[in-house]
Structure 1
Amino acid sequence: MNRQSLRLRLGLFGGLAILGTLALSLIGLALLFDRHVERVAVADLEARSYSVAAMIELTGPETAGFRRAPVDPLYEQPFSGHYWQLELGPEVRRSRSLWDVTLPRIGPSLPSGSERVLDLAGPRDAPLLAFETWLTVGTGPSATEVRIVVATDRAALRAAREGFIRDLLPYSLVLGAVLSFAFWTQLTLGIRPLTAVSKRVSALRAGHIARMGGELPAEVMPLAREIDTLLTDRDEELMRARNRAADLAHGLKTPLQALLGDAAQLRDQGEAGLADSIDVIAASMQGLVDRELRRARIQSDRMLQTANLKTITEGVVNVLRRTPTGSALDWDLAIPADLTLRIDPDDLAEAMGAIAENAARHAVSRVTVRAAADQGQATISLSDDGPGAPADSMEKLMSRGFRLDEREGGEGFGLAIVAEIVAAAGGSVAFANGGPGLTVSLTLPRAAGIPAVEPQGDSFARQRASSNKA
């Protein structure tokens, strides 16, 4: 998956958040369980301290002694983890479980009636949870200080906590899996509207729609409006460029006509050579103006149009068959009748006319046109049986003004304009020597779901007529 994928990043951060939340929850629950168990243990120790305190009995009006300790299996087994210690003045009595260990004092004596929870070191340095109580037996100068300590080994508390965590862990894993699935479902449903944006952009690129439009999630509408504004600005700029080219053409039309008129007067005056030179220059200028007009006509909104390749190609070949070079050639066409391309029909006619005319000019006896469709594209190959092109000239064939044969007419703009038309339609051009002859391959996008339209006029025929007139 792409590292820049929004789904991947949101999924990664969401997964980390779920994992962190579960970890914190597990730690928090363990702490809460610890506190609860400790409170229960302290309450039990407090209750047992009352039983230990009952071992004290008054032996006189102001004196006290020890009763016989009750038998409790918890406190009879040495190092059992349950201990008590009773201090009556200097006398100390301990549970049998302490064996010969005395629980230490922490700090000075406390006032009578004081209670506190302590952490003590017990037998074998085992950590103990202890409940300490301070009492006073008797009154006056003969009052005796009493300290009662009841303790339990913390190992039992740790074991309870570990058991709780072991029992909780599977449920946490199941909860994590459920949360991850729910998050992934939410993420998938949440970003699904973005696929609508992707489809709109694909439709824009395919020429099915002219603008992004509305009916998109509110969060992406600003992006859609910016794209539409950008497209509008681009189309307006292209329209302005087209209008400027048209103004230039109209501005040059009258001077060119005047120049041709002067050439006619010179021819009448016997200056045929000078008149012919002016005619050639004027025709060249007119050709450049026409080509610039055709190039300016290539704009974004024309991508919504489609053209049938076979119809356009047959029209081009019919025009060339009426020319001296084309009439002597055998034209072999193999194009599917239903192959429709996403390109303006006039642009396709001009592109096919340029490469077909170039092939006719260099072919010896045959020109072959083949077309094949593959998924969303079509490949058109036009081959001649002429001498081909030098290998070092292949990259220059689409350069403006480049001509392989300087002796022939033309300005060297035909293939460059073909490249511009094909690029504007989202395709590509390639050249290769077919042995013999040159093969020109055009790759153009196919039209999907858009009815093909016929050109408003035979663009290539008009181009040929204009060139012949010039």
Structure 2
Amino acid sequence: MTARSIRLRLLLAGAAAIGLALALAAGGLALLFDRHVERVAVADLDSRFLALAAAIEPDANGKPVLRSTPIDPLYMQPLSGHYWQIRLGDQVQRTRSLWDYTLPLPETPPAPGTATVLTLPGPRGEALLVLDRSLRFGTRPEAPLLRLTLATDRAELAAARQAFLAELLPYLALLGSALIAASAVQIGVGLRPLAATRARVADLAAGRRRRMGADLPEEVMPLAAEIDGLLEARAAELARARARAGDLAHGLKTPLQALEGDADRLRQRGEGEIATSIATIVTAMRRHVERELTRARLLTDPRHAETAVMPVLRKVVAVLQRTPQGEDTEWVLSGAEDLRARIDAADLTELLGALLENALRHATERVTVQASSGAEELCLSIRDDGPGAPPDLLHLLTQRGLRLDEAGHGIGLAIVADIAEAAGGRIELANADPGFEARVWLPLVA
């Protein structure tokens, strides 16, 4: 896949969206986990508050005193990260783990019976999760106010969050991979109609279909309709162009024949120089007419044409056999009857006519025509037993105007080359031993 691939773009966009969604999900889950862990930690501090409050009893004068310190190794170890602090009036009692550090509580205590959750610095500068509560020791309004504060190191909460994310990320990565794979499958299924459209276009190019058709998915039907419209317009334009070229050629044939007749009459009167000049002009004009016909033929679409080769070959040979030279020539034809070429029948007739006329003109006794097929091409071999052509001129024989003799107009082989090229084939000329051989390859209809 390249940077211009729709599949790659959709896959990258889907992967980016999935990655963003999973990142947001991981952030959301981490936030929810933080809040849950903090609630659990606050609940634990609250339960420790109750145990600590239960250890406060009145003395002989009715004043609150801490009779017994809760036995907990976490509060006995200095700087353990777990602390409590009690303010009894002006007196402050604190756990051994705080050592000589006093928690920097707000001046105003929370209302009796309420609690405040704070974040305060600890003895080592660490962030502490603090539960600050107040209560009255007794039921009278003048009963002394007690302020109990419990704290735990937030580093433990952060460690729990890191451990949660460490366990969560592999699962998110696995989920992301599964979602990207599912997205790839979804994209493949979604783009499958484009493959069908591509196959239709390939069938158009190969001549297996004439139009895209109307049985494609709704999303690609506008494209298919536009392609079919272009094909219809192109076919109509080709037909008009060929008709115009044909009209031009046929319109010029009669005047050219009249000029040839005038040239013959002038020659008979002894005006040879004028007759030769007129004949030269007529020949040049005839070449232009043939060129326009060939150009019109090149505009046709051979992909949908099919022509049986052997019937056309026999028809052309039958016409040539009615000529004086054709009657005296031996014709040897060979080839399978089911051979079909992807070329218009009229074009094949003109191609074979030009080649067979050329072979007949140079043959001594025999003209051999062989039709054979390969994997994707059909080969037509036309061979005479004449003197052949100069080797240094072989590559020039398909150029317009080149003649090795005075017969013809020097455009026959050029027309053959144009017709073969327009049909998607090619021509090869070579001297045989003896004679001259022309081989034409044309697309084969399977």
1:260/1:32 CA distance change after superposition, 3 Å: same
Match of 1:463 in 2: none
Match of 2:48 in 1: 48
Cα separation, 2, equivalents of 1:82 and 1:334: 107
1:294/1:99 CA distance change after superposition, 3 Å: closer
Match of 1:5 in 2: 5
Task: Tell me if the contact between 1:383 and 1:434 (Cα under 8 Å) persists in the aligned partners.
Answer: no
1:390/1:61 CA distance change after superposition, 3 Å: farther
1:121/1:332 CA distance change after superposition, 3 Å: farther
Task: Tell me if the contact between 1:308 and 1:339 (Cα under 8 Å) persists in the aligned partners.
Answer: yes
Percent identity between the two aligned chains: 46
2:426 to 426, 429, 451: 429
Matching of residues 163-202 of structure 1 within 5 Å: 163-202=163-202
1:109/1:362 CA distance change after superposition, 3 Å: farther
Matching of residues 376-387 of structure 1 within 5 Å: 376-378=376-378, 386-387=388-389
CA shift for structure 1 position 105:
0.8
Cα separation, 1, equivalents of 2:416 and 2:105: 98
User: Runs of 5+ in structure 2 lacking a partner?
Assistant: none
CA shift for structure 1 position 348:
2.8
1:41/1:332 CA distance change after superposition, 3 Å: farther
CA shift for structure 1 position 422:
3.3
User: Are 2:368 and 1:373 equivalent residues in the alignment?
Assistant: no
Q: Secondary structure at the match of 1:44?
A: helix
Q: Secondary structure at the match of 1:209?
A: coil
Cα separation, 1, equivalents of 2:90 and 2:246: 120
CA shift for structure 1 position 190:
0.9
Match of 2:239 in 1: 239
Q: Secondary structure at the match of 1:71?
A: coil
Cα separation, 2, equivalents of 1:156 and 1:27: 19
CA shift for structure 1 position 184:
2.0
CA shift for structure 1 position 238:
1.8
CA shift for structure 1 position 330:
9.1
CA shift for structure 1 position 428:
4.6
- The amino acid of 1:100's aligned partner reads W
Match of 2:221 in 1: 221
CA shift for structure 1 position 406:
6.4
Task: Tell me if the contact between 2:371 and 2:378 (Cα under 8 Å) persists in the aligned partners.
Answer: no
Task: Tell me if the contact between 1:18 and 1:180 (Cα under 8 Å) persists in the aligned partners.
Answer: yes
Q: Secondary structure at the match of 1:219?
A: helix
1:324/1:135 CA distance change after superposition, 3 Å: farther
User: Are 2:339 and 1:342 equivalent residues in the alignment?
Assistant: no
- The amino acid of 1:424's aligned partner reads A
Q: Secondary structure at the match of 1:118?
A: strand
TM-score (norm 1): 0.75
Task: Tell me if the contact between 1:359 and 1:367 (Cα under 8 Å) persists in the aligned partners.
Answer: no
Task: Tell me if the contact between 1:388 and 1:435 (Cα under 8 Å) persists in the aligned partners.
Answer: no
CA shift for structure 1 position 4:
2.5
Report how many residues are paired. 441
Cα separation, 1, equivalents of 2:359 and 2:419: 18
Deviates more, 1:209-218 or 1:53-62: 53-62
- The amino acid of 2:109's aligned partner reads L
Task: Tell me if the contact between 2:83 and 2:98 (Cα under 8 Å) persists in the aligned partners.
Answer: no
CA shift for structure 1 position 326:
8.5
1:165/1:71 CA distance change after superposition, 3 Å: same
1:77/1:307 CA distance change after superposition, 3 Å: same
Deviates more, 1:106-115 or 1:340-349: 106-115
- The amino acid of 1:75's aligned partner reads Y
Task: Tell me if the contact between 1:111 and 1:135 (Cα under 8 Å) persists in the aligned partners.
Answer: no
Deviates more, 1:37-46 or 1:365-374: 365-374
Task: Tell me if the contact between 1:260 and 1:282 (Cα under 8 Å) persists in the aligned partners.
Answer: yes
CA shift for structure 1 position 214:
0.9
1:71/1:242 CA distance change after superposition, 3 Å: same
- The amino acid of 2:107's aligned partner reads P
1:199/1:63 CA distance change after superposition, 3 Å: same
Task: Tell me if the contact between 1:378 and 1:446 (Cα under 8 Å) persists in the aligned partners.
Answer: yes
CA shift for structure 1 position 48:
2.4
Q: Secondary structure at the match of 1:343?
A: coil
- The amino acid of 1:85's aligned partner reads Q
Higher relative contact order (CA 8 A, sep 6+): 1
Task: Tell me if the contact between 1:362 and 1:387 (Cα under 8 Å) persists in the aligned partners.
Answer: no
CA shift for structure 1 position 192:
1.0
User: Are 2:66 and 1:69 equivalent residues in the alignment?
Assistant: no
CA shift for structure 1 position 102:
2.4
User: Runs of 5+ in structure 1 lacking a partner?
Assistant: 449-470
Cα separation, 2, equivalents of 1:81 and 1:249: 107
Deviates more, 1:218-227 or 1:16-25: 16-25
Deviates more, 1:98-107 or 1:179-188: 98-107
Cα separation, 2, equivalents of 1:420 and 1:173: 63
